[in-house]
Amino acid sequence: MKKNLYKLVFTCLSFVGIGNAFAQTTIYDANRWMGSDLNGTARFIGMGGAMSALGGDISTMGTNPAGIGIYRSNDAMISFGFTNTGAKDAGGASVDKFHGSFDNAGFVLSSKIGSATTLRYVNFGFNYHRNKSFNKNMVMNGLFGASQTEQMTRMLNFEGVDNFAPWEEGILQAKNAYENADLPWLGLLGYNAYLSNPVYVRESEDSEEEVFDGYESYYQNGDEVRQAYTARERGGIHAYDFNVAFNLNDRFYLGATIGAYSIDYSRTSLYKEDFTDAQGLGQGGYDLGNEYWADGSGVDFKLGFIWRPIETSSFRIGAAVHTPTFYSITERNRAYIDHDIVLDNEHKKGRTEPMDKYDNPMDGEYKYHLTTPWKFNVSTGYTIGTVAALGLEYEYMNYSSAKLKDPDGMELEQTSDINSMMKGVHTLRLGAEFKLAPEFAFRVGYNHITASMKSDAFKWLQDNSIRTDTEYSNRGATNNYTLGFGYRGELFYADMAYMYSAYSEDFYAFDSVNLSGTKIDNNNHKVVFTLGMRF
């Protein structure tokens, strides 16, 4: 009921003038650009990222900038790794993919001011790190219990909204139909592939004249629909941190980081349906292919401190605040349908794709701005001589407060989707390091991130959307388990970390009240190596 109410309200809004040509992105796109993976140096990963109060690691300039104030020497390092991503659905279909990765590289320049002054050190740092990785493959097949042709047809009929007539067939047949800003590309593709067909009825029992009465889906009750879906995602969010940090009396550390971000993302997907009627006769099927790309840039500011409240104790308290990241993003999409079906005893076969009036293929393109939520971090750390270090931290980011705007700065209606379908995300990090010998250390960590989407969230496409990629997933909580080892020499150091990451998601190939989500279990393994030099 709640889901249908959202559709009714949002569809009505799009027709009273709130919708516009720029409002083509979805909350699932916005969700993709928010948050971060557990990534950085091998020491940082090995301790579950729980180093914001301990400091002394280049990766902390992205969580608590004051961590760089702990340094008393220069540092330069580079990290690289290998990842195995795996996904398995309830039906047993699974896919694994091995990737290499360049994770981060950075340096810290430490300047001693004095031993008796209040300001002891001023440190400067830079760090590149992969803030988020999108590398993923997915393969699914089975009986989903509904057909995507229903969504195609609904977009042409404005289903559920009173006083709106379906699009006249002649409008859909126009040479410039895909250039008409009021028409949905997904509905047009379905119509041109004979998956959404016009219905004509008599005006009365006595009349022989038939009038247009909307569209019906190729899928009919009693049909069996076998589906398959494959997707390949690549890219990531790259972060560039510029940091300055201060050491005051060796007890209070203050730091600031300016973060710059770049987005590089692509997804290629293929969705297939094959129909069998109630008599068991094959009726053919179709393939919907989608390509989607996004690139963009963003900037934010981070401010943090670390305080050692008791002079004779190594116990530390840390806190940091991250401003919203202000992104400017460009997204593009391309689609086609290959169909081979039987309609009214006729064989219909061919390819349809968005074309302009000159019969040239068309890509969809749209630009928008995303303002992510504020982020807050509190942490504690404690060292036991030179034998052990313990870290604990908590982070909060309210995803439902994010905002989407068009290039002119006008807030998009999808912001209301974010407010109603997203929620606050809590992150807990735990980590410990134990010295096995003066040069060798063992590390263990845990990282827990709660879900950002509500369980009943869905991907809503406007009735004039040029988007044709209908798939979406509601992801659950993520658990990261880490182990690490390290060597520290007088000049060089080397670290290694292993991370096991697990989360489940409910996958939907399209939006339908009759479609149940398919549970996907994702299990990723990653090994990271860091080589560095302190001097």
**153-171 confidence digits (pLDDT tens):** 999 987 555 556 788 889 9
Q: What is the mean pLDDT of the chain?
A: 89
At residue 461 the predicted structure's pLDDT band, cuts being 50, 70 and 90, is confident
Residue 18's pLDDT is 34
Residue 86's pLDDT is 65
Residue from 432, 430, 531 nearest 58 by CA: 531
At residue 35 the predicted structure's pLDDT band, cuts being 50, 70 and 90, is very high
- Kindly tell me if the per-residue pLDDT of 85 is higher than 80: no
Q: Is 38 helix (H, G, I), strand (E, B) or coil?
A: coil
- Kindly tell me if the per-residue pLDDT of 8 is higher than 70: no
| Averaged pLDDT, 223-246 | 94
Looking at the DSSP bridge assignments, the partners of residue 306 are: 253, 318
- Kindly tell me if the per-residue pLDDT of 94 is higher than 70: no
| Averaged pLDDT, 449-478 | 92
- Selected residue with higher pLDDT from 376 and 463: 376
- Kindly tell me if the per-residue pLDDT of 489 is higher than 60: yes
Percent of the chain with pLDDT over 90: 70
- Domain 2-534 grouped into CATH 2.40.160.60: yes
- Kindly tell me if the per-residue pLDDT of 76 is higher than 70: yes
Dihedral angle at the C-alpha atoms of 430, 435, 439, 445, nearest 10 degrees? -20
Residue from 150, 189, 147 nearest 276 by CA: 147
| Averaged pLDDT, 185-213 | 87
Residue 140's pLDDT is 86
Contact 494, 533 (CB under 8 A): no
Residue 96's pLDDT is 62
At residue 356 the predicted structure's pLDDT band, cuts being 50, 70 and 90, is very high
At residue 97 the predicted structure's pLDDT band, cuts being 50, 70 and 90, is low
| Averaged pLDDT, 126-143 | 91
| Averaged pLDDT, 169-183 | 92
- Residues 237 and 292: their CA atoms lie apart, in Å, by 16
CA 227 to chain centre: 25
Residue 263's pLDDT is 97
At residue 21 the predicted structure's pLDDT band, cuts being 50, 70 and 90, is very low
- Kindly tell me if the per-residue pLDDT of 385 is higher than 50: yes
Residue 480, number of CB atoms within 10 A of its CB: 22
Geometric angle at alpha carbon 523, from 517 and 527, rounded to 5°: 155
